[in-house]
Chains A and B, each alone.
Chain A
């Protein structure tokens, strides 16, 4: 895997971590919780490399 691809996967992992962190910290808005989860979907699929 080229170095640039490794970087992209690292960025993806970082974004997943940030979204999960925000999801855990969110206490009031169910809408925001749902949005965090929806945004997570393509990132998780990318990391799992499901084809």
Chain B
């Protein structure tokens, strides 16, 4: 049962990455909006994420709640070891969300619009970086080691060796950069679908292709560094029985996404990009299984009592009954309406 819940947690994290990740990626493209169509690019991004970013953000809450309800020692341990990067990530989350709302609903004057746009986009860049750093730190296994030290009273350990170095290394930064590249790639690809005209679509096609290169570079770097910095995950990714099929699938998705972008098959590109990002996430999880926080906390030994797990699953099922229809409604309303924009019956004109 604990494994089922861990899989659900990963599904929720996957949803967060595919949905909220793209919202952060949108912020990145807001920061790098250039050329004569700068304002149009920003308007498209704002319109794309406006109605949905808050709902997308809740996936993160779900992951956190799931973790502390069903795997309390893992949540507690991560919160101790990753105090600093998580706090920085939270500041990013707060500034990104607030600045976006201030820009959308505050004064429409030029100066405040620019100011909040800048805060929004810089926070959108830093938050994924820090999220990636945290995931890299977990994968490296150094968090778990650090927690064992703290549990033994950490004799002779300095502040930096306990609270900084376990999460701050070339490997974790490479994973952070990979997360950023992936989110920017997702956003660029999604925006080619959502763009209202072909010129804008071409802008985001170029950006998505550029991000695809960044994904390739950062992923290679992270894999390379993983051999020494995250040996367990690295070994899993190389030696497991599922490793080869996984890599083949990921490569197919990655190449598929690039080819689809190249040949302007926007919807295919969106699906392939989402598949590629998901496969990378599941690859990490599979390589790290059965550990939640290697090398000591596993899915089984960190699990809450069975009764809690059972009731949680029931609550989750009931929640899903409410969630999925609502989510579908939201996305149908704001993500498909554009296609029917020219059809008069597609909109309600009574307001």
Q: Do the two chains bind?
A: no
